[in-house]
Amino acid sequence: MRAVSSDRDLREFIELPFRLHSSSPQWVPPLRIERRMFHSRRMNAYFRHAGAQEFLARRDGSVVGRISAQVDGAYDAQHGPGTGMFGFLELEDDPEVACALIDTAQAWLAERGRHHMIGPMDYTMNDECGVLVEGFEREPMIKQPWHPPHYAGLCEAAGLTKAIDLWMWELVIDDREKILPIIFELAEQCETKHGVQLRHMRRRDLPKEIKVFGEVYNAAWKRNWGFVPYSEPDLKHLAEELQLVFDKHWFMLAQKDGETIGIAITLPDINQVLKKMNGRVLPFGWWHFLRRAKIIDRVRVGFLGVKPEYQHTGTAARFYVEHFDMAKVRPQKWGEMGWILETNRAMNRGMEAMGGRVVKRFRVYESRF
């Protein structure tokens, strides 16, 4: 095992999934330049409140696995000290390699006073998170990992146990016939009875709109497993990322008496473009990116939440109906909602009422040492 400490190490860290998965038709190659920026301690706002170390496993000079270990001060502030994370797990189908990677991450965390590890998360719950345990035949959408079926077994062979599952629901968002009538009734009452107005975000105001998103997120998600609040630098970084996939039709706010009480951010699935770019901007990747409006026909509903004191107003239902209305005028006719915690009964019941079905499950593992 070796800590990533040089530019060459980082390049090998980024390249490993290309070697492992390039023959898998479902895998979507990330942009190499974006991955380098994401790992940058200077450019990624995560490192304002966290520290991490990436590692490579080698056999006979060849890289056979990778992992990161990280400690997040924002997580500690929310949940107390003692827990660290691992992420970016990629490896050959070899239990010995899996054990070496997990042991290395645990040892790094133990040296920093940790006795509990959760993951994988790259680097947070709102980035690529979990090990795919169902839905291997489907392409990952934006901010979703993809793993071959043997990864779960390797994690368990290395001593990891299930912490929680994350669900992705498929919704055909131009098929209103599948929606239970109560959804439309609640959506109508949202405005007529409770005075809630829905509006779409504006690109020119996106930095300001994302600050408001942060207020709603930090209130609506705070009881969720593994929740970490967004800080101001986190929100600035998020706004910069979202500029690349912004579509006013899918970015929404709900307001009551001038207060933003709910948000819905749905992302056109840029992975459909990345697959054509094959990890590179040059020589022709930029051309596919410029044509993204003609390529993308699906979306991922990434964030949809309402402040707790307004969750009785039907605002979530109003967001659902607005998504169906947008599908009438946009090329995107279907998508995936989530991830949603398996324990989130309210949201999962809502997805059932919308005619959805669970198509992917991601598992977050843990260990104690």
Write the CB contacts of 344 (distance below 8 Å, at least 6 apart in sequence): 224
Choose the weakest-confidence range: 119-128, 203-212, 251-260, 284-293: 284-293
Please indicate, yes or no, if residue 313 is contained in any of the structural domains: yes
Please indicate, yes or no, if residue 241 is contained in any of the structural domains: yes
Please indicate, yes or no, if residue 203 is contained in any of the structural domains: yes
Q: Is the pLDDT of residue 282 over 90?
A: no
| Model pLDDT for residues 142-171, shown as the tens digit of each residue | 999 999 999 999 999 999 999 999 999 998
- pLDDT score, position 203: 92
Alpha-carbon dihedral 203, 206, 207, 208, rounded to 10 degrees: 120
How many domains are there within the chain?
2
DSSP state of 295: H
CA atoms of 63 and 101, how far apart (whole Å): 12
Please indicate, yes or no, if residue 96 is contained in any of the structural domains: yes
Choose the weakest-confidence range: 167-176, 187-196, 345-354: 167-176
User: Does residue 175 share a domain with residue 165?
Assistant: no
- Give which of 359, 351, 360 is closest to 179, Cα–Cα: 351
Which two tokens mark 83?
């827990």
Of 130, 149, 169, the last residue of a domain is 169
User: Does residue 348 share a domain with residue 200?
Assistant: yes
The CATH number of whichever domain residue 124 belongs to comes to 3.40.630.30
Q: How confident is the model at residue 212 (pLDDT cuts 50, 70, 90)?
A: very high
In the numeric block, the tokens 């840029």 are attached to 270
User: Does residue 203 share a domain with residue 73?
Assistant: no
For the chain, the residue count is 369
User: Does residue 349 share a domain with residue 219?
Assistant: yes
> Angle at Cα 252 formed by Cα 247 and Cα 255, nearest 5°?
155
DSSP state of 45: G
Choose the weakest-confidence range: 19-33, 86-100, 259-273, 281-295: 281-295
Question: Full-prediction pTM beyond 0.85?
Answer: yes
CA atoms of 278 and 177, how far apart (whole Å): 38
- pLDDT score, position 178: 79
Q: Do residues 342 and 134 lie in contact, with contact meaning Cβ atoms separated by under 8 Å?
A: no
- pLDDT score, position 290: 56
Q: What are phi and psi of 105, to 5 degrees?
A: -65, -45
| Structural domain range at position 112 | 2-169
Q: Is the pLDDT of residue 283 over 70?
A: no
